[in-house]
Amino acid sequence: MTGPRWLDDDEQRAWRSYLRMQARLTARLNRQLQADSGLSLADYDVLVQLTDTPDGRLRPFELQRDLQWEQSRLSHHLTRMQRRGLVVREECADDGRGAFVVLTDAGRDAIVAAAPGHVETVRRLFFDGLDAEQVATLERLSARVLDRLDPGEEPPA
């Protein structure tokens, strides 16, 4: 086989720039959320999914499908969120193996309190620096890469 196809200079710059941006932005968002609401980004994502359902309850496998998390990560995370009173687990009558994850009042309060500040931070740190063209390109770029990562997968609802 021939040697690897190394990245050219433009690709190098773009890749490094992307990696750094990604790392720093995630760290900032996490810190803002944590400091202002005591939630992590992961907590936030789980709570958003639950809030999007009419009765604030989902089966873990549905959460897993929506979030695309590893099953065991989800299980561990739900255990921790339950310990903190953000959700509770309930048994599932239909399926003896299954369970429900249910948003508690405290969980609902937490996400309601956290959302405005989080969105504001996303806007301030990210979108406010970009024009519509860049945002559109980002979306197509992400979609293309996602398609290569999981060929033939439905986009999330």
Partner DNA sequence: CCAACCTACATGACATGTCATTCATTCCCG
Partner DNA sequence: CGGGAATGAATGACATGTCATGTAGGTTGG
Q: Which parts of this chain interact with DNA (CB under 7 A)?
A: 27, 31, 34, 40, 42-43, 59-61, 64, 69-80, 89, 92, 95-99
124 sits near its own copies (criterion: CB under 8 A): yes
Q: In angstroms, what is the minimal distance from the CB of 31 to DNA? A: 5
Residue 119 and residue 123: Cα distance in Å, rounded? 6
Nearer to its own copies, 21 or 106 (CB): 21
Distance CA 16, CA 100 (A): 42
Among its own copies, DNA, none, partner that 75 touches (CB below 5 to 8 angstroms by kind): DNA
Q: State the amino acid at position 104 in one-letter form.
A: T
Calculate ∠ Cα 142-114-63, nearest 5°.
55
122: its two tokens: 């996303």
Tell me which residues in 63-82 interact with its own copies (CB under 8 A). Answer: 68
Determine, following the binding rule CB under 8 A, whether residue 134 of this chain makes contact with its own copies.
yes
Tokens encoding 133? 């063209």
Indicate the residue among 95 and 147 with the shorter CB distance to its own copies: 147
Pull the structure tokens for residue 42: 């992961």
> Is 126 an interacting residue with respect to its own copies (CB under 8 A)?
yes
Using CB under 8 A as the binding rule, whether residue 25 contacts its own copies is answered as yes
User: Count of CB atoms within 10 A of residue 2's CB?
Assistant: 4
When asked if residue 22 is in the footprint of its own copies (CB under 8 A), the reply is yes
Between 90 and 144, CB nearer to its own copies: 144
Helix (H) or strand (E) holding 75: helix 71-83
